[in-house]
Chain A
């Protein structure tokens, strides 16, 4: 624990800390460009120079290890002159185009030039200019502004694990580019926009949209996957203009997946902004009153189990509880949130720990053996994948995977696509799991959403016992979810015996007469001609195609909501903008509908609804990781695991939900990155 003095303040920092960190511990701000807490140290921008006693020159504090007895001066004349000099050099080749630069107002270079620069330039010569580089549909480049901090290069190499950004050339001719100017293919590529301390890499979809001070900033939770990344919605008027990550070391650190960043841009497209009623096969725009009357007509005479409900992937806890209560009033308990037919939770494995990512997202990076079962975390949860990658890089964790071979951004030993291998794991896997101190088994929805899903879950549960995966201070049983609303739905028991397949089968046989589709767009509702279908949701996607009544609802950014992520973390998001047109918050729709149907639900505002939820589900009452502890579970009447090869949940990372499908950026990413169709962007521009 070295002790050193910073501006007369004595600080003690952990072994291995840098002088820069010591200065921060002493409450001193050190300007920097290349240094970033979550990336390796480069020491190439020189902005963090400080004066140190017994050192003949100012030292780069980010790269200098703190040691005993150092005396650092961060506000001396030497330090001041060093900073001014570095800033002057940086600005020699930096254009003075702040007025037309998207980084303006949130630019490190701008701020630091103001605080630490000389205020005027002595440079009279020509500045260098660099041609723009194409980096795909997400990243806009103005490379003349680049100061070569190499944060983007280090991020691509270290965190994203897709080495495609580099610095070519040397000296004054050094340029940052992707290899041969191809589109960046990482699912995390948008983060280089946040990392770039200047306006060299900016957001292409957000180009020239707004200035940061014009935006209203609202805390939200990303719903594009089940990680529950903490985000900030930046909105102006009715529109969410951009989504940025918030720092939460337990969940997303400070990264955000590209889908989380640009999927929500689909919120302005294909919206349901008025109720619709289907008449003679055609949808007619209607008033709420007419729509409710139509629902009442459709449900009249139906009782109990003839009415069902399926909740989609982007539905929050409050909405589902309200729908569940409404169904209960109608005498039905046929509500289902496992839209993809995943066999877990509910009647299959009631214990909460049986459907959670028990290891936790942050602790996963300390795992020493990881077994992936039918899961491609790179697409299903990019920010869980970065944790596994960290475990591999840092502790040389061994990764085994069952499923079709894909590039996970780290080395994995592939065991084929046959899930029956779970019953007879190869000796290498057995040895690794036996010898591991912190083994983690991760089962994906692709392995559970099959007819033998319960059997797979049972087989994984057997692994828990065989290899003692649950031990003191460590739980290695993990279910990787893909839907943001899923764990919340399972927590409130939004499940029905037999799942979606039973509901659809009953609908076909005539035992089920009416079906609420609550943002459920991933099931084929076209196959249910005799069923009265009520779609409650925000996007005109697959679900509305065959709906008889459409009730327009608020999206995740347009309501206060509770989300439970895959590790069971309860998080609240706030309303960033208002729902468009006549759309209303989901719970309010069900409350109003209950009035029309005869017996009103017992809550009139969000507080009352949340109080009602807290009474029945105390786990969901407060934000934070809701832990119930491990409880062994068994799976009754399980089916045998079939040798049919396992498939992953997604065939297209960018098109997994109605909002992302509506997002132009996601469509472009899908075309360019996955289908190699480079013409799309030019056609669009």
Chain B
């Protein structure tokens, strides 16, 4: 392959990412354990209102796909239709739900779905530095790294403003970040460890930085 063709291939690849293969998930079925869990979720709602379980079931399905593909999971079309059939809902109604909530992935993501909050409080507290640190690690917004480990999404407020800036990686929140701590977390994840979630400056939950300033007698 000449250099010219190589670069054109690479270019095309970047412009139009591969379409996810939905058909690979044809014939999706619950695992035994998840089937029980799904039944439990449906049973939470009164007879005739089983549709209310749609969000729980979609989440469960996404996690099952995650285990199956060793990623954070996503919702291929056959899986959406499987959930719709189980709840006797028209496909479009389930698809509406899946497309409305950002926690459902409609395309495959990496093993770690890195969600960076870029809303005002995080931005003022340095989310741009976090973004730069991620970029230096080769993690780009809206893309999955070639090794399939990281997918970066920029999201709106995750409700951790007191501990800004923050990252949500899969089910864990990493708070009080700066460029260094971000790099450390990514390296640890890439090495297969699970860094301690929560504040990276050592403070407890969202207490004032440097310890309590009021009601000190209660903390002693």
Q: Is A544 an interface residue (CB 8 A)?
A: no
A165 CA / B91 CA spacing, docked (Å): 10
Q: Do residues B95 and A179 form an inter-chain contact, with CB atoms below 8 A?
A: yes
**B90 and A164: CB pair below 8 A?**
yes
Establish whether residues A166 and B93, one from each chain, have CB atoms under 8 Å apart when the complex forms.
yes
A167-B93 Cα distance, complex, nearest whole Å = 9
Q: Is the CB of A166 within 8 A of B77?
A: no
A637 within 8 A of B: no
A178 near B100 (CB under 8 angstroms)? no
- A230 → chain B, closest Cβ, in Å? 31
B130 to chain A, nearest CB (A): 24
- B14 is an interface residue with CB less than 8 A from chain A: no
Contacting residues of chain B (76-97) with chain A, CB-CB under 8 angstroms: 77, 90-93, 95-96
- A170 to B101 Cα, complex, angstroms: 8
Residues of A within 8 A of B91 (CB): 164, 179-180
B170, CB-defined interface residue at 8 Å: no
Interface contact B100-A166, CB-CB below 8 Å: no
Contact A165 B92 (CB under 8 A): yes
**Given A169-B100, A170-B99, 13 further pairs, Cβ under 8 A:** A164-B90, A164-B91, A166-B92, A166-B96, A167-B96, A168-B95, A168-B96, A169-B99, A178-B92, A179-B92, A179-B95, A180-B77, A180-B91
What CA separation (Å) do A180 and B95 show in the bound complex? 9
Docked-complex contact A163 and B90, CB < 8 angstroms: yes
What is the minimal beta-carbon distance from B23 to any residue of chain A, in angstroms?
13
Q: Which residues of A contact B77 (CB under 8 A)?
A: 180
What is the bound-complex CA distance between A168 and B101, given in angstroms? 10
The B interface, classified by DSSP as helix, strand, loop or mixed, is helix
How many residues in B have their beta carbons less than 8 Å from beta carbons of A?
A: 10
The answer to whether A163 touches B95 (Cβ under 8 A) is no
Listed from nearest, the 8 A-B pairs whose CB atoms lie closest are A163-B90, A166-B92, A168-B99, A179-B92, A166-B96, A170-B100, A179-B91, A169-B99
Complex CA–CA separation, A167 to B77 (angstroms): 17
- Chain B hits for A168, CB < 8 A: 95-96, 99-100
Which residue of A163, A167, A168 has the most chain B CB atoms within 10 A of its CB atom?
A: A168
A170 (CB) vs chain B CBs: closest residue: B100
Central interface residue in B77, B100, B101, by most chain A CB within 10 Å: B100
Find chain B residues with CB under 8 A from A164 CB. 90-92
Q: Give Cα A342 to B91, complex, Å.
A: 40
* Residues 32-55 of B contacting A (Cβ, < 8 Å): none
What is the bound-complex CA distance between A495 and B92, given in angstroms?
49
Most interface-central of B93, B96, B101 (chain A CB within 10 A): B96
Enumerate 10 A-B pairs (CB-CB under 8 Å) in ascending A order: A163-B90, A164-B91, A165-B92, A166-B96, A167-B96, A168-B95, A168-B99, A170-B100, A179-B90, A179-B91
- Shortest C-beta distance, A307 to chain B (Å), equals 56
Q: Which of chain B's residues have a CB closer than 8 A to the CB of A167? A: 96
Residue-wise, chain A 180-203 has the 8 Å CB interface mask toward B (1 for contact) of: 100000000000000000000000
A154-173 contacts to B (CB < 8 Å): 163-170
Chain B residues with CB under 8 A of A163: 90, 92-93
Over the window 133-157 of chain A, the binary record of Cβ atoms lying under 8 Å from chain B Cβ atoms (1 yes, 0 no) is: 0000000000000000000000000
In whole angstroms, how far apart are the Cα atoms of A163 and B84 in the complex?
Answer: 12
Give the shortest distance, in Å, between A229 (CB) and chain B (any CB).
Answer: 27
A182 to chain B, nearest CB (A): 10
Q: What is the CB-to-nearest-CB distance from A71 to chain B, in angstroms, rounded to a whole number? A: 39
Could you tell me which residues of chain B, from 51 to 86, have a CB within 8 Å of some CB in chain A? 77
Query: B92 to chain A: which residues have CB within 8 Å?
Result: 163-166, 178-179
For B100, what are the chain A residues with a Cβ–Cβ distance below 8 Å?
168-170
Query: Which residues of the other chain, A, contact B93 by a CB distance below 8 angstroms?
Result: 163, 166
Residues from chain B with a CB closer than 8 A to the CB of A165 are 92
Instruction: Report the nearest A residue to B84, measured CB to CB.
Output: A179
B155 to chain A, nearest CB (A): 13
CA separation between A180 and B77, bound complex, in Å?
Answer: 9
CB distance from B102 to the nearest CB of A (A): 8
How many Å from the CB of B73 to the closest CB on chain A?
20
In Å, the complex CA distance between A163 and B88 comes to 12
Q: Name the A residues within 8 Å of B90 (CB-CB).
A: 163-164, 179
Cα separation A549 to B90 with both chains bound (whole Å): 53
> Closest CB-CB distance, A158 to chain B, in whole Å?
13
With CB as the reference atom, state the residue of chain A lying closest to B91: A179
B99 cross-chain contacts in A, Cβ below 8 A: 168-170
User: Bound complex: CA of A178 vs CA of B96, how far in Å?
Assistant: 11
Contact with B along A341-379 (1 / 0, CB 8 A): 000000000000000000000000000000000000000
A166 to B97, CA, bound (A): 10
Which residues of the partner chain A approach B96 to less than 8 Å between Cβ atoms? 166-168
Most A-side CB within 10 Å, residue of B92, B99, B101? B92
Q: How far is the CB of A151 from chain B (nearest CB, A)?
A: 16
Chain B: CB-nearest residue to A175: B99
Q: How far is the CA of A167 from the CA of B96 in the complex (A)?
A: 6
B102 nearest in chain A by CB position? A170
Alpha-carbon distance between A168 and B98 when the two chains are bound, in angstroms? 8
Q: Please measure, in the bound complex, the distance between the C-alpha atom of A165 and the C-alpha atom of B90, giving whole angstroms.
A: 10
Shortest CB–CB separation between residue A186 and chain B, in angstroms? 12
Q: In the docked arrangement, what's the CA distance between A179 and B89, Å?
A: 13
Bound: A169/B92 CA distance, A? 12
How many whole Å from B159's CB to the nearest CB in chain A? Answer: 18
In the assembled complex, the Cα of A591 lies from the Cα of B69 at a distance in Å of 79
Q: How far is the CB of A52 from chain B (nearest CB, A)?
A: 32
Kindly state the separation between the CA atoms of A164 and B84 in the bound complex, as whole angstroms. Answer: 13
Closest partner residue, chain A, to B99 (CB atom): A168
Tell me, in angstroms, the Cα distance from A168 to B99 when the chains sit together. 6
Interface centre among A166, A167, A169 (most CB of B within 10 A): A166
Mask, A250-285, CB within 8 Å of B = 1, is: 000000000000000000000000000000000000
Query: How many Å from the CB of B157 to the closest CB on chain A?
Result: 14
- Least Cβ–Cβ distance between B37 and chain A, in angstroms: 27
Q: What is the chain A residue whose CB lies nearest that of B101?
A: A170
User: In the complex, A469 Cα to B83 Cα: how many Å?
Assistant: 43
State how many angstroms separate the Cβ of A191 from the closest Cβ of chain B.
18
- Please give, as numbers and ranges, the residues of chain B lying within 8 Å of A166 by CB-CB distance: 92-93, 95-96
